Structure 1
C-alpha cells in the first residue's frame, strides 16, 4: 500500500473533520472545528479558508446556491456566493458547553447529526435526525458521536460512541431515515489500538473508517469483517469522503489536537488532508431536504 497516500491539502487543521465533496463543482469542503473554519479546495488545488465565527463540523448541499452547515448552535443555511450564514434550525443553541461533531445525510435526504461536550464531558452528547424541517433526538448519553454512515439503499445506519469503541448498526426506513428497532453491535473495537472515528459506506456496503490514534483507514465488509487496512502518514486520521468525478477515491482529514510538543514533532503531517489513490466504488452525498 505504500505510495497510494499523498497530501491533498497542506493546510494544517488542529481538528480537521467533516469532509464532503460536491460533484457539481468538483469542490471538497471540510472543517477545522475548534477554530471555526470551513475549508474549500477546488479543481485549482488551492485551499480557501472561510471563517465562520463559531465551531462547525459538517456541511450538506441544499441546492446549487445553498449549503446547510452544522455548527455549535445548530443548522445554518449558507449562501454559497456570499458565505452568509442564516440560522435555520437551532440544535442545543442554549447549551454553550456542547458543539457539533460527526454528521451525514441519509439517502432519502434526512440529516443525522451528532453533538458532544467541548471538554469531552462523558455522555453529554446526542444524535439527532433532521428531515424537511423536523428535528428529533434519536440517541442521547453519547460522549463522542462518530461514524454516522448509511448503506446505499438507506436500509442500514451506522454510528459509534468513540469513547465506548462499539460500532453499532441499526435498520432504517429508507423513505425517512428513521431507525427501525434497536441498534445491534457491528464491531467491538475495545481491544483495538485507536478509536473509531468518521466513516463512509461505498456501493458494495463496505464501511471505510478513519481510525483515530492508529494511523489507519480500515474497511469493513457488511458482516463486520476487516477486509482492508490502509496505513496513513499521521497518527490521527479523522474522517474519509469519496471524491472525484466517479467518487472512486478517498479524501481523509486529520488532526494534531491533544498532542504535546514531542508528539507533534513526531507527527509532522498531522492536521493535513490526504488523498488515498486506491480505487473504491464510492458514491456522492445526497442533497439534504430542509
Structure 2
C-alpha cells in the first residue's frame, strides 16, 4: 500500500458548494441514508432520539420519536429498518407507523450491556447483508474501550478483532466487500483492514488517510469508482480520497460540524450531507443558522452506489 499523505500536502480546491435541503436543526444529525426503493432520505438526530425522513420529489419531511438515542441504522431487505439504539439492536417498520409520532420497535439483542458508558454509534451494512457498527465511550475521559461488532440473523452478534476506540466512525466497505474502512475520530486517521464477512475476521489495520486538526473524520461512504468520501467534522466539508490517501475532490458545506453523507437521487448523483448544532456556542450558531440541517450537492462525474441492505429474511 502506498504510504498515506496528510491532506495539507495535496489539498484540493472546493469543487462544489452544498445548499440547504432540509432545515431540520438537528442537535446531532447523523447516519444519513438513501432508500432507492422509496426515493427517500433517512437520518437520525441522535441526541433528540428522532428518526427523520425526507421525500425530495414531493418535499415531504417528517420524523418519529424513539425510545432511546439512535446512533445508526440500516435499510432491510424486507423494507423494515434495523435500528442501533443506544444499548441494543431493534427492528422497526415506519410503513406501519405513518399515523403515529412514536415509532414502535422490536428488541433483537442487547449490546455492551455490561459497559454503562458505551452506546452504539456509527454503523453500515457490509456487501453481504451484515450490519457492522461501533460503540462510543461517553465518559468524558474518552478511553478507547469501544468495540466494533458485526450482527446478522445467521450468526448473531460477533466482536471484530480491531483495536479499542473512543468514537467509532467512517465505517464503509470496498466495492468487493473485502476491505473495511473505519476510524476513531479522536485519532485523525482513517484506517483500512482486510475483512471477511462470513467469518467476521479482519486483517492488520493500516492507515489509509490522515485528517489534520481541527477537522476530524466522521461518517464515510464509497462511490461507484471505489473511492472513499469522508465528512470532516469541524471543517465544513466532505472530501474524496484518492487511492493513495490524498484529497482529490471536495464539497464545501456552510456549517462546520459535518457528520455524514449519502449518495442519493434516481441516478445516485447527488450527495446529501447531515450536520449538527452540537458543540457550537450561541455566537457560532448566530453565524451558522443552518447548522443541524441536511444539505445537498452535486459533483460532476461522481455517482454513488445503492445502500447495501441488512438480510432480515
TM-score bracket relative to the smaller structure:
over 0.9
Q: Is the 8 A contact 1:72 1:92 kept in 2?
A: no
Structure 1 residue 262: deviation in Å? Answer: 1.2
Superposition CA RMSD, Å: 1.8
Name 1:163's counterpart in structure 2: 186
**1:94-115 deviations in Å (ceiling 9; x for gaps):** 5442222111111111111111
1:231 aligns with 2:245: no
**1:190-221 deviations in Å (ceiling 9; x for gaps):** x4431011000112111111100011111101
Name 2:172's counterpart in structure 1: 149
**1:70-91 deviations in Å (ceiling 9; x for gaps):** 1102110002313320011211
Name 1:184's counterpart in structure 2: 206
What are the residue-to-residue correspondences of 1:44-55 with 2, within 5 Å? 44-55=58-69
Structure 1 regions of 5+ residues with no counterpart? Answer: none
Q: Is the 8 A contact 1:218 1:230 kept in 2?
A: yes
Structure 1 residue 64: deviation in Å? Answer: 3.8
Structure 2 Cα separation of the partners of residues 188 and 105 of structure 1: 24
Name 2:41's counterpart in structure 1: 28
1:19 aligns with 2:39: no
With over 3 angstroms needed to count, the CA separation of the structure-2 counterparts of 1:237 and 1:177, relative to structure 1, is farther
Structure 1 residue 92: deviation in Å? Answer: 2.0
1:288 aligns with 2:288: no
Name 1:71's counterpart in structure 2: 85
Q: Is the 8 A contact 2:73 2:82 kept in 1?
A: yes
**1:23-55 deviations in Å (ceiling 9; x for gaps):** 111111100001100001123222211000210
1:209 aligns with 2:230: yes
User: TM-score, length-normalised on structure 2?
Assistant: 0.87
Structure scoring higher RCO (CA < 8 A, sep ≥ 6) equals 2
Q: Is the 8 A contact 1:151 1:202 kept in 2?
A: no
Q: Is the 8 A contact 2:146 2:166 kept in 1?
A: yes
1:100 aligns with 2:159: no
Name 2:20's counterpart in structure 1: 7
Structure 1 residue 2: deviation in Å? Answer: 7.4
The SS at the match of 2:47 is: helix
Name 2:74's counterpart in structure 1: 60
Structure 1 residue 141: deviation in Å? Answer: 2.3
User: TM-score, length-normalised on structure 1?
Assistant: 0.93
Structure 2 Cα separation of the partners of residues 142 and 3 of structure 1: 32
Name 2:293's counterpart in structure 1: 272
Aligned counterpart for 1:114 among listed residues 124, 134, 143:
134
Structure 2 Cα separation of the partners of residues 177 and 183 of structure 1: 17
Structure 1 residue 150: deviation in Å? Answer: 0.6
Structure 2 Cα separation of the partners of residues 196 and 259 of structure 1: 17
Which deviates the most, 279-288 or 86-95? Answer: 86-95
Structure 1 Cα separation of the partners of residues 170 and 79 of structure 2: 28
Q: Is the 8 A contact 2:16 2:297 kept in 1?
A: no
Q: Is the 8 A contact 1:154 1:177 kept in 2?
A: no
Structure 2 regions of 5+ residues with no counterpart? Answer: 1-13, 98-102
The SS at the match of 1:35 is: coil
